[in-house]
C-alpha cells in the first residue's frame, strides 16, 4: 500500500512540474546570455591607433597547454601612427580543433591583443573550418562581441598587492587600467540592470 | 574457467571480506557443475556504466557469482602529461580528470604546487576556493542523483524526470560559475597562489537566490527518490559495504561515511577556509545503497548552508598570493616533494608532486594523483556477488564513479 | 465472390487497425509532449505545428535506417518476431466494441480472445530475444516471459469479475450490461474497483510500462529484447508496445468503465469509448514518467504474493455477490 501512496506523491510532483514554464532555450532561434566573461572563441584586436595590437612576441604560443597557437613573428618596423619601432605578427593561426579554452593566452598577452569573445564560433563541416587564421581572428573582432577578459584586466585583478576589484563589463583598456588602480570599492549590494544575468533559471518561475 | 583466474590466490582478499561471504577471486571451477554459468561483459559500451568502464560478470541465471572490474579505457596519461607541461599549464589539464567536479581538481593540483613552491594563499582566495568547492559539491551530487535516477528508472521513465530536474538545478550553479570564470565546466579559474577571477558585483545575491531555489526544490525531488518506497525497496540492504572493508580498500568520501566512519577531511584536516567554518559531517551506519544516497542528499543540503555562509563571509583583499601567470616557466621548484589531499564530492583526492630541481625546475619531476573513484570501484568485486543485474547498476551508481578520474 | 462476412471483417478490421495506428502515433506525440513538460522541456516542436508531425518523421527516419541482422542470429525468427508482436496486439482489437455494436467481430468468446492474444505476445518477444544471439536480449526475453506469464494470471482472474457480473463473455454484452445496470468499477463497491486496479497493474506489466518495465530495463539490459534490432523492426516493437498500452486502456474501459456508455444520461457512442481510453492512456503515461522501476524479483513477489491471491479473492467475492445479492442495486438505482 505504501507503494500506491508514494506513487501518488511522485505523480503529484511530476504533474506539478508539468505546469511550470519549461527551461529549454531553443538554441538557434534564441540565445542564452552567457555573461560578459564568456570564453567562447577568439579574436585579435586593434589598438587605439587602429593598428594590429599583436607584436608577435610568442608568449601565447609558449604558454598554450595544448599547443594550438602558431605565431610567425615579422620584422620590427616603425608604427605608422606613432613612428615608434614595434613588432608585428606575420601570421597567427589558432587551431580550434584542440583548444581547451583555458584563457591562458589571453592572460599572458603583453599588449592585450588576443581576447576571447562572448559569441560562439560557427560550426564547420571540415577540420579546416575550425582553424582560425589571422584573417578570421581579425574578422571576429568586428563580428563578435568581445569578452571582458584582457591581459591587463586579469593581471590587475590577480595583483597580489591589490584590494578587491571594481570590475564591470569593461571593454576599454583604459578604464580597466583605471579600475585596477582604484582603491577598494564598497561591497556592491545592489544588482545593476546591466549586471550579467545568465541564470535565467532561478528567476524563471517563482513557485 | 580459464587457467589464469583459477591460479589466482584466494588469500588476496581482505579478511573482512569474509564477513560478507564474498571471495572476489572466487575460483569458479568448483562451482555447481549443474549450473550453466554465463559470462556477461557489461561495458565498456553500456548505458549505465558511467563512462567507459567494463565489468565482467559471471552469472548464474541473473545472480552474479563473481565480478571483475576493468578500468583503463579512459586512460589519457594525465600524470605523464603534467610532468611534461610546466606548473602554470597544469590547471586546465586536470580540469578534465573529474569532469563532474573540475573546481576541486584545480584546487587539488594548485594546492600541491603551492605546498611544493611554498606559496601562501590570501584569505579571500581561500574563501572563494571553499565557496567554489561547496557549490561544486552541490552540482556534483545533483548530477549523481540524476544519473542514479536514470540507473533505476530508465532513460524512458521516472528516472529521466528526476534526471532533467536535477540537471536544471545543476545548470543554475554552472551559470553562476560562468559569471565568475566565463566557462561552465573547465574553468581554469584557480592558479598557483590563488584564483584568477574575482567574483563580480551582485554575484553574491544571485548565489543566494539560486541556492534558495535549489533548497526548496530538493525536497520535491526526494519524493521521486529517497523518500519514495520504490526507491527504498531498490536500495535498502543492497550492496552493503562493511566499515572494515571500506577502510581496507581505502574508500573515502560519502561512501565511507555511509558505512559509518565519521571521516571528512573538511573537518579532520581543514584546508582552504574550512578551519573557519563548522562542517557538519553526515554519516549513516548501514553502508548500503540507501545510506550512500542519504549521505549525499544530506551533504547537498549541508553544502547549501555552507555556501550561503561563505558567500556572505568572503573577506576583502587580494585573490592571488603569487605573481600572476605571465610566462610558462615563471615558477621554479627546488628539489622536494609535497602531498596534498582534499575532500572532493567523491572523497579524498590526493596529489603527490616531486619538484625537479635544477634540470626540470619549471615542471613537476613526478606527479601522482590518487583518485577516490578508483578506490570506490575496487569495492565492486566484494559488493556485487549475490546480487542480480538490476542491482549491479544500482550499486555502481551509488559508488558515483567518474571514469575520467579513475583512469586519468 | 467474397462472402459478406469476410468483407465485413476486412473493412471493419482495416478501418479499426488504421484508426488505432493513427491514434498510437499521436499517442506517442502526446506522451513525448507531456513527458517534456514534466521534465521542464518542450518536447517535439520542429516538425509541423507543435511537433504534431513528429511521429511521421520518426517513422520515415526508421524506414530509412539499415535493417541489420546479426551474423549469429536465427534469421527467420529474428525477422518474423517484430511483425508478429504487432499482429498479436492488433488481433485483440477485433472484439473491442468501440461504439454501440461497433466492433470488428461480435464474438461470444470476446474476453478469452483478448486474453489469449495478450498471452501469445510472450512468444514473439521470446523468439526475438532468442534469435538475436545477444546475451542482453536473452536476459530481457527471459524476464519478459517470466513477467508475462506471471501477470497473465491476475489479469485473467480480474477479467473474470466483469464476466461474472454480466454473465457473458462477449465484450459487447458486458458493455451493454453495464449500460443497463451500472459500471462494474463503481458497483459493487469492493470487487469492481479493486479488480480494475489489479487489471490495470497487470496491463502495465504486460505492456512493459514503468514501474514494471524490467524486460526492457535500458539501464540494465541496454534495450532488452530489442538490443539488436534496428530501423523499422525496432520501430515495430516500439509500435507494438504503444499499441498494447492503448489496447489495454480500451479493454479496461470496456470491461470496467462501461465502454461506450455515456455519463449523466448523455448519448452513448464511440466518443465515450475514446475519452475513457485516452484518459487511461494518459494515466499510464503519467505513471510512466513519474516512477522508478522495480527489480525483477520484487515484481514477481508483488504478483504472486499480493495480486494473485487478491484477484482470486475478488473472483470469489463477485461470485458470492452475484449469487446472494443479485437484487442489490447501486444506491443511485439503476
The overall average pLDDT reported for chain B is: 84
pLDDT digits (tens, 9 = 90+) for A70-110: 888 888 888 777 778 888 888 888 888 888 888 888 888 88
Inter-chain contact C291–A15, Cβ cutoff 8 Å? no
Domain carrying residue C248: 71-324
- Residues B366, B376: Cα–Cα separation, whole Å: 24
Does the residue C2 lie in any domain?
A: no
Smallest Cβ distance to A22: which of C34, C41, C286?
Answer: C41
Distance to chain A for C216, nearest Cα, Å: 21
Q: Nearest chain C residue to A20 by CA: give it.
A: C40
Does the residue C153 lie in any domain?
A: yes
Smallest Cβ distance to C287: which of A11, A18, A20?
Answer: A11
Inter-chain contact C139–B231, Cβ cutoff 8 Å? no
Does the residue C49 lie in any domain?
A: no
pLDDT digits (tens, 9 = 90+) for B118-165: 888 888 888 899 999 999 999 999 999 888 888 887 667 778 888 888
pLDDT band at A7 (very low <50, low <70, confident <90, very high): confident
SS3 A188: coil
Q: Is A167 on the interface with B (CB under 8 A)?
A: yes
- R_g over Cα of chain B: 22
C-beta of residue B161 within 8 angstroms of C-beta of residue B349: no
3-state helix, strand, coil in chain B (%, to 5): 50, 15, 40
Percent of chain B whose pLDDT exceeds 90: 7
The interface residues of chain B toward chain C in range 42-71, judged by CB-CB distance below 8 A, are 46-48, 62
* pLDDT over 80 (residue B20): no
pLDDT average, residue stretch B304-310: 89
Q: Is C290 on the interface with B (CB under 8 A)?
A: yes
Q: By C-alpha distance, which of C282, A188, C295, C83 is closest to B230?
A: C295
SS3 C133: coil
CB contacts of C45 in chain A (<8 Å) are 26
pLDDT band at C122 (very low <50, low <70, confident <90, very high): confident
Inter-chain contact B229–A63, Cβ cutoff 8 Å? no
CB contacts of C34 in chain A (<8 Å) are 18
Smallest Cβ distance to B230: which of C139, C294, C297?
Answer: C294
Does the residue C320 lie in any domain?
A: yes
From the CB of residue B209, how many other CB atoms can be counted at a distance below 10 Å?
Answer: 17
Chains contacting A with at least 3 CB pairs below 8 Å?
B, C
* Residue pairs between chains A and C whose CB atoms are closer than 8 Å: 39
- Residues B269, B119: Cα–Cα separation, whole Å: 19
Does the residue C293 lie in any domain?
A: yes
Q: By C-alpha distance, which of A175, C40, C235, C117 is closest to B165?
A: C40
Taking chain B, what is the end-to-end CA distance rounded to the nearest angstrom? Answer: 31
DSSP code for B29: G
- Identify which has the larger pLDDT, C17 or C113: C113
Range list for CATH 1.10.645.10 in chain B: 78-407
Q: Pairing between strand A85-86 and A114-117?
A: unpaired
Strand blocks (E) in C80-234: none
Distance to chain A for C156, nearest Cα, Å: 22
Smallest Cβ distance to C289: which of A7, A14, A26?
Answer: A14
What is the pLDDT, as a whole number, of residue C160?
A: 87
Give me A123's grid cell: 560550426
What architecture (CATH level 2) is domain B78-407?
Orthogonal Bundle (1.10)
Q: By C-alpha distance, which of A10, B221, B222, A17 is closest to C41?
A: A17
C-beta of residue C212 within 8 angstroms of C-beta of residue C293: yes
- Residues A73, A71: Cα–Cα separation, whole Å: 6
From the CB of residue C167, how many other CB atoms can be counted at a distance below 10 Å?
Answer: 11
C-beta of residue C298 within 8 angstroms of C-beta of residue C150: no
Q: Nearest chain B residue to A99 by CA: give it.
A: B92
pLDDT band at C90 (very low <50, low <70, confident <90, very high): confident
Inter-chain contact A189–B179, Cβ cutoff 8 Å? no
CB contacts of A189 in chain B (<8 Å) are 205
Cβ neighbours of residue B56 closer than 8 Å, sequence gap 6 or more: B39, B40, B41, B42, B67, B68, B69, B70
Does the residue C296 lie in any domain?
A: yes
- The residue behind cell 588469500 is B11
* pLDDT over 50 (residue B325): yes
Distance to chain B for C239, nearest Cα, Å: 15
DSSP code for A73: E
Inter-chain contact A199–B320, Cβ cutoff 8 Å? no
Cβ neighbours of residue B121 closer than 8 Å, sequence gap 6 or more: B114, B129, B193, B194, B321
What is the pLDDT, as a whole number, of residue A191?
A: 40
Does the residue C168 lie in any domain?
A: yes
From the CB of residue C190, how many other CB atoms can be counted at a distance below 10 Å?
Answer: 13
The overall average pLDDT reported for chain C is: 83
Q: Which of B240-254, B260-274, C65-79, C183-197 has the lowest mean pLDDT?
A: C183-197
What is the pLDDT, as a whole number, of residue C106?
A: 77
Q: Nearest chain B residue to C209 by CA: give it.
A: B157
CB contacts of A29 in chain C (<8 Å) are none
Cβ neighbours of residue B144 closer than 8 Å, sequence gap 6 or more: B100, B296, B345, B397, B400
Give me C57's grid cell: 518523421
Q: By C-alpha distance, which of B353, B342, B341, B359 is closest to B118?
A: B353
Give me B399's grid cell: 559508488
Q: In sequence order, which ranges of chain C are alpha helices (DSSP H)? A: 4-38, 54-64, 75-93, 110-120, 122-131, 135-166, 171-180, 191-206, 218-221, 231-256, 270-288, 296-301, 308-324
* Axis crossing angle, helix C75-93 with helix C110-120, rounded to the nearest 10: 160
* pLDDT over 70 (residue B19): no
What is the pLDDT, as a whole number, of residue A182?
A: 42
Smallest Cβ distance to B182: which of A12, A103, A162?
Answer: A103
pTM, two decimals, is 0.85
Chains contacting B with at least 3 CB pairs below 8 Å?
A, C
Inter-chain contact B188–A103, Cβ cutoff 8 Å? yes
Inter-chain contact B325–A108, Cβ cutoff 8 Å? yes
What is the pLDDT, as a whole number, of residue B138?
A: 92
- Residues B126, B272: Cα–Cα separation, whole Å: 5
Strand blocks (E) in chain C: none
* pLDDT over 70 (residue B387): yes
CB contacts of C292 in chain B (<8 Å) are 149, 152-153, 157-159, 224-225, 228, 230-231, 234
The structural domain count of chain C equals: 1
DSSP string across B30-42: GS-TTS-EEEEEE
Q: Which domains does chain A have, with CATH numbers?
A: 31-181 (3.30.70.3270)
Q: By C-alpha distance, which of C28, C36, C78, C34 is closest to C57?
A: C28
What is the pLDDT, as a whole number, of residue C328?
A: 61
CB contacts of B205 in chain A (<8 Å) are 189, 191
Amino acid at each position: 500500500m505504501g507503494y500506491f501512496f508514494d506513487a501518488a506523491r511522485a505523480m503529484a510532483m511530476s504533474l506539478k512540474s508539468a505546469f511550470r514554464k519549461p527551461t529549454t532555450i531553443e538554441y538557434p532561434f534564441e540565445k542564452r546570455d552567457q555573461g560578459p566573461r564568456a570564453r567562447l572563441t577568439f579574436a585579435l584586436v586593434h589598438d587605439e591607433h587602429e593598428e594590429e595590437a599583436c607584436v608577435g612576441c610568442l608568449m601565447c604560443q609558449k604558454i598554450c597547454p595544448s599547443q594550438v597557437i602558431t605565431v610567425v613573428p615579422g620584422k620590427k618596423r616603425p608604427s605608422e601612427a606613432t613612428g615608434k619601432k614595434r613588432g608585428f605578427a606575420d601570421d597567427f593561426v589558432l587551431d580550434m580543433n584542440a583548444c581547451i579554452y583555458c584563457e591562458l593566452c589571453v592572460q599572458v598577452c603583453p599588449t592585450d591583443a588576443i581576447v576571447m569573445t562572448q559569441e560562439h564560433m560557427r560550426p564547420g563541416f571540415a577540420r579546416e573550418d575550425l582553424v582560425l587564421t589571422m584573417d578570421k581572428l581579425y574578422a571576429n573582432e568586428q563580428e563578435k562581441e568581445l569578452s571582458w577578459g584582457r591581459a591587463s584586466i586579469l593581471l590587475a585583478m590577480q595583483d597580489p598587492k591589490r584590494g578587491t576589484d571594481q570590475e564591470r563589463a569593461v571593454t576599454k583598456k583604459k578604464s580597466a587600467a583605471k579600475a585596477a588602480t582604484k582603491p577598494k570599492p564598497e561591497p556592491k549590494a545592489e544588482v545593476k540592470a546591466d549586471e550579467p544575468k545568465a541564470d535565467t533559471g532561478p528567476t524563471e518561475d517563482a513557485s | 574457467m580459464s587457467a589464469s583466474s583459477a591460479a589466482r590466490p584466494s588469500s588476496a582478499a581482505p579478511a573482512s571480506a569474509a564477513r560478507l561471504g564474498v571471495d572476489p577471486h572466487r575460483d569458479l571451477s568448483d562451482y555447481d557443475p549443474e549450473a550453466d554459468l554465463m559470462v556477461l561483459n557489461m561495458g565498456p559500451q553500456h548505458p549505465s556504466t558511467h563512462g567507459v568502464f567494463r565489468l565482467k560478470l559471471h552469472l548464474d541465471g541473473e545472480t552474479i557469482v563473481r565480478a571483475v572490474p576493468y578500468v583503463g579505457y579512459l586512460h589519457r596519461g594525465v600524470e605523464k602529461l603534467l610532468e611534461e607541461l610546466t606548473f602554470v599549464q597544469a590547471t586546465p589539464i586536470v580540469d578534465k580528470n573529474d569532469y563532474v567536479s573540475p573546481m576541486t581538481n584545480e584546487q587539488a593540483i594548485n594546492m600541491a604546487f603551492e605546498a611544493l613552491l611554498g606559496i601562501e594563499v590570501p584569505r579571500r582566495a581561500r574563501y572563494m576556493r571553499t565557496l567554489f568547492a561547496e557549490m561544486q559539491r552541490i552540482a556534483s551530487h545533483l548530477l549523481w542523483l540524476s544519473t542514479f535516477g536514470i540507473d533505476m528508472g530508465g532513460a524512458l521513465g521516472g528516472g529521466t524526470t528526476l534526471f532533467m530536474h536535477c540537471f536544471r538545478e545543476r545548470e543554475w550553479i554552472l551559470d553562476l560559475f560562468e559569471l565568475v570564470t566565463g566557462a561552465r565546466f573547465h574553468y581554469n579559474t584557480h592558479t598557483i597562489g590563488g584564483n584568477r577571477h574575482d567574483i563580480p558585483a551582485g554575484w553574491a545575491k544571485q548565489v543566494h537566490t539560486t541556492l534558495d531555489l535549489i533548497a526548496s526544490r530538493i525536497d520535491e525531488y526526494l519524493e521521486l527518490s529517497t523518500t519514495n518506497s520504490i526507491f527504498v525497496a531498490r536500495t535498502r540492504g543492497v550492496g552493503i559495504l562493511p566499515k572494515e572493508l571500506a577502510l581496507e580498500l581505502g574508500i573515502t568520501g560519502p561512501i565511507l561515511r555511509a558505512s559509518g566512519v565519521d571521516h571528512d577531511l573538511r573537518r579532520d584536516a581543514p584546508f582552504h577556509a574550512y578551519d573557519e567554518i563548522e562542517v557538519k559531517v553526515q554519516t549513516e551506519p548501514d553502508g548500503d545503497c540507501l545510506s550512500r544516497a542519504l549521505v549525499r542528499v544530506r551533504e547537498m543540503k549541508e553544502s547549501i548552508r555552507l555556501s550561503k555562509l561563505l558567500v556572505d563571509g568572503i573577506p576583502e583583499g587580494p585573490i592571488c598570493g603569487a605573481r600572476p601567470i605571465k610566462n610558462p616557466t615563471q615558477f621554479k621548484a627546488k628539489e622536494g616533494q609535497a602531498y596534498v589531499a582534499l575532500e572532493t564530492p567523491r572523497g579524498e583526492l590526493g596529489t603527490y608532486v616531486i619538484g625537479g630541481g635544477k634540470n626540470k625546475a619549471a615542471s613537476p619531476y613526478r606527479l601522482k594523483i590518487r583518485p577516490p573513484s578508483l578506490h570506490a570501484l575496487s569495492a565492486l568485486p566484494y559488493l556485487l556477488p549475490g546480487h542480480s543485474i538490476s542491482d549491479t547498476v544500482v550499486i555502481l551508481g551509488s559508488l558515483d564513479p567518474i571514469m575520467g578520474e579513475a583512469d586519468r | 465472390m467474397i462472402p459478406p462476412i469476410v468483407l465485413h471483417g476486412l473493412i471493419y478490421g482495416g478501418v479499426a487497425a488504421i484508426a488505432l495506428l493513427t491514434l498510437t502515433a499521436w499517442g506517442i506525440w502526446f506522451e513525448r509532449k507531456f513527458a517534456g513538460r514534466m521534465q521542464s522541456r518542450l518536447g517535439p516542436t520542429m516538425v509541423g505545428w507543435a511537433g504534431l508531425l513528429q511521429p511521421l518523421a520518426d517513422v520515415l527516419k526508421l524506414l530509412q535506417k539499415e535493417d541489420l541482422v546479426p551474423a549469429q542470429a536465427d534469421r527467420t525468427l529474428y525477422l518474423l518476431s517484430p511483425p508478429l508482436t504487432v499482429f498479436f496486439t492488433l488481433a485483440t482489437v477485433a472484439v473491442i466494441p468501440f461504439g454501440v455494436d461497433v466492433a470488428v467481430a461480435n464474438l461470444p468468446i470476446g474476453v478469452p480472445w483478448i486474453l489469449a492474444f495478450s498471452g501469445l505476445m510472450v512468444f514473439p518477444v521470446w523468439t526475438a530475444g532468442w534469435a538475436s544471439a545477444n546475451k542482453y536480449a536473452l536476459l530481457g526475453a527471459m524476464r519478459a516471459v517470466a513477467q508475462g506469464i506471471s501477470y497473465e494470471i491476475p489479469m485473467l482472474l480480474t477479467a473474470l469479475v466483469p464476466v461474472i457480473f454480466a454473465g457473458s463473455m462477449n465484450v459487447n454484452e458486458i458493455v451493454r450490461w453495464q449500460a443497463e445496470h451500472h459500471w462494474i468499477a463503481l458497483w459493487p463497491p469492493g470487487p469492481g474497483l479493486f479488480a480494475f486496479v489489479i487489471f490495470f497493474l497487470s496491463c502495465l506489466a504486460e505492456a512493459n510500462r514503468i514501474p514494471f518495465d524490467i524486460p526492457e530495463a535500458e539501464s540494465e539490459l541496454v534495450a532488452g529484447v530489442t538490443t539488436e534490432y534496428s530501423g523499422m523492426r525496432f520501430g515495430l516493437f516500439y509500435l507494438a508496445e504503444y499499441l498494447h498500452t492503448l489496447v489495454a486502456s480500451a479493454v479496461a474501459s470496456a470491461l470496467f468503465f462501461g465502454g461506450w456508455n455515456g455519463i449523466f444520461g448523455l448519448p452513448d457512442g464511440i466518443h465515450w469509448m475514446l475519452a475513457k481510453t485516452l484518459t487511461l492512456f494518459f494515466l499510464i503515461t503519467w505513471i510512466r514518467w513519474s516512477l522508478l522501476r522495480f527489480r525483477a524479483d520484487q515484481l514477481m513477489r508483488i504478483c504472486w504474493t499480493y495480486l494473485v491471491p487478491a484477484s482470486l479473492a475478488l473472483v470469489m467475492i463477485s461470485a458470492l455477490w452475484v449469487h446472494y445479492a443479485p437484487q442489490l442495486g447501486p444506491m443511485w438505482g439503476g
